[in-house]
Chain A
Amino acid sequence: MNVPRELRYTKEHEWIKVEGGEAVVGVTDYAQGELGDVIFVELPAPGTRVAQMKAFGTIDAVKTVSDLFAPVTGEIVAVNGALKDDPALVNRSPYKDGWMVRIRLESPAEVNALLSADDYEKSLGAHA
């Protein structure tokens, strides 16, 4: 299972990559594997404000639906429009082409509270 070192994680299986004052958010390789074939990702419109660890969207697989939780507080500045036509990007490329939203950070310190790759792997150990 792929858990890139350079990313931070939530225990709800979102990853976050901070780039300057903004952060890119997606779901982990583990999450896409557990969900199975992703058929739809419902994301808010750009301009929506999200709060840390509050649900901001949903991800539908064939027979399950999961909430997406915001790893950080801030305004959504972009969403991945490619997921509309090809939600399977989440399965094929969870850390790259399958990204979901870009959030402008309000309190960058929130990132420090997120899991490191090691911590996230440990939390998965508890599942397996």
Chain B
Amino acid sequence: MSFVGRSDAERRAMLERIGVPREEDLWASIPSEFRLSGPLPLPAPLAEYEIARRFELWAERNADASRYACFLGGGIYDHFIPAALRSIVSRSEFATAYTPYQPEVAQGTLQVIFEYQSMIRELTGMEVANASLYDGATAAVEAAVFAAGAKGRPRVLCSTGVHPHTREVLRTYASAGGFRLEEIPLEAGRTAIGPIASAGNDVAAVIWAQPNFEGVVEDGAALTQAAHEIGAYSLAAADPVALAILRPPGHDGADVVFGEGQPLGVPMSYGGPLVGFFAIRKAEVRRLPGRLAGVTVDLDGKRGYVLTLQTREQHIRRERATSNICTNQGLMALANTVYLALLGAQGLRDVATQCLERAHYLADRIGEIPGVRLAHAEAPFFRELVLRLPAPAESFARAALDRRILAGIPLGRFDRTRPNHLLVAVTEKRSREDLDRYVDTLASWAKAHAGRPREEAACRS
């Protein structure tokens, strides 16, 4: 089964037309030493229902958010995805089209990109958004490359409040020579301003996150001001849901606002495919990485859409392109667009407000549990918070599984000095029953682990 429709008669007719006696003659140019002598050492084809059975068995071995209350976050969240969105995103017309090389027969894809750009612009408070990038981490890389190129300076400062994986990806790409990455610490959950102010005058950019990885809402205006005072760009990794109620970095003068678009209608799907958004000021549009859709007219004067400023891109500018990226993340950007259209202004605000309220309800109730504390009790937060537990967080996470709870991300995975810290995310989907169950589970676990308060030896916060 290879999805080929071919009768023997057709095959004979085709070979005859080509003028070769045997099919093998068509690949005679492959030298024999590279040919496979027999069939691949792989199993035989399976019928659809055999395949479905295998995949369903595999799927059952995963603890997914339909069976567990998911309190995991860190950039990827279990938000509500409307059924209408799934219906649209799975349409062949969108899913099986390619990059709009022929705009006359790709107006659907192009208008969606245009609407996506418009809504990202609106959310971020910037002036131009591109057609999307692979994910939030590579968007951070593109932001750093963009800043280093525009400023002609080598250093990029990155707050440790930026997702640890994003920082790892930045390090991978920085090694390519485009920029030098230096990290600046958090103080009481917020990015320290001091190290920015004293960083000198060869810094291209400061990267920070809103809210940051530990859930804290940063003082974006102060960070952007500090960056600008040393002549650097302010690059903000923003949570798109939070932007419904938080002051967008664009309103405080940030130079790039980028981030992970998964919370806007994209399934968690074990972390991929994701989608990165990227927005800048109009004056810099020629340095913008990635694709861009714009409005024009056709021969009859009718409104239409095309990819524009394509000479920035690799297929034309080759080694001088603004980025080597070849596509956008079309289907995921479509999901973002449909999500924002369906939820709308009020709906997105409701999602954000509910995240905020539910997270604070959980925090308040957890505050009553002896031995458990909020790591950054004084700092404002949005939908995520760090707990400091009386014993290793991994142990609580395991215990919570029995109550069908995915309890959070133990921060010891990123920082061995903080084994008792747990990052907990609360979305609009977590009902009061979920939240109360979480509190009960944590309370009984904490009680069992009280009396032996193994404080973390070298705790940072």
Query: Which residues of chain A have a CB within 8 Å of any CB of chain B?
Result: 39-40, 42, 60-65
Q: How far is the CA of A42 from the CA of B311 in the complex (A)?
A: 12
Q: Is the CB of A40 within 8 A of B316?
A: no
The complex places the Cα of A65 from the Cα of B310 at a distance, in Å, of 10
11 interchain pairs, CB-CB under 8 A: A39-B309, A39-B311, A40-B311, A42-B286, A61-B311, A62-B311, A63-B310, A63-B316, A65-B311, A65-B317, A65-B320
Cα A31 to Cα B322 with chains together (Å): 25
A65 near B316 with CB under 8 A, answer yes
> CB < 8 Å: which of A40, A61, A63 contacts B286?
A40
Q: Which residue of the partner chain B has the closest CB to A66?
A: B311
**Chain B residues packing against A (C-beta within 8 Å):** 286, 309-311, 316-317, 320
Contact A64 B286 (CB under 8 A): no
Residue of A nearest to B317 (CB): A65
Distance from A68 Cβ to chain B, minimum over Cβ atoms (Å): 14
Tell me how far the C-beta of A43 lies from the nearest C-beta in chain B, rounded to whole angstroms.
Answer: 13
In the A-B complex, list the 5 residue pairs whose CB atoms are closest, starting with the nearest: A60-B311, A65-B311, A65-B317, A65-B316, A63-B310
Which residues from B are CB-within-8-Å of A60?
A: 311
Q: Shortest beta-carbon distance, A45 to chain B, in Å?
A: 14
Q: How far is the CA of A65 from the CA of B320 in the complex (A)?
A: 10
Expressed in whole angstroms, the Cα–Cα distance for A60 and B320 within the complex equals 13
- Tell me the nearest residue of chain A to B320, going by C-beta: A65
CB distance from B56 to the nearest CB of A (A): 47
Give me 15 other A-B pairs in contact (C-beta within 8 A), A39-B311, A63-B311, A65-B317 excluded.
Answer: A39-B309, A40-B286, A40-B311, A42-B286, A60-B311, A61-B311, A62-B310, A62-B311, A63-B310, A63-B316, A64-B311, A64-B316, A65-B311, A65-B316, A65-B320
Shortest distance between the CB of B311 and any CB in chain A (Å): 4
Min CB–CB distance A87 → chain B (angstroms): 12
Report how far A39 CA is from B312 CA in the complex, Å.
12
Q: How far is the CA of A55 from the CA of B316 in the complex (A)?
A: 18
Cα–Cα, bound, A64→B320 (Å): 13
Chain B residue contacts of A63, Cβ below 8 A: 310-311, 316
CB of A127, distance to nearest CB on chain B (Å): 21
Cα of A11 to Cα of B326 in the assembled complex, Å: 33
Q: Give the complex CA separation of A39 and B316 in angstroms.
A: 14
Q: How far is the CA of A63 from the CA of B317 in the complex (A)?
A: 9
Contacting residues, chain B, for A64 (C-beta < 8 A): 311, 316
B229 to chain A, nearest CB (A): 25
Task: Identify the closest chain A residue to B286 (Cβ).
Answer: A40
How far is the CB of A64 from the nearest CB of chain B, in Å?
A: 6
Chain A residues, Cβ within 8 Å of B311:
39-40, 60-65
- Identify the interface centre among B311, B316, B320: most chain A CB within 10 Å of its CB: B311
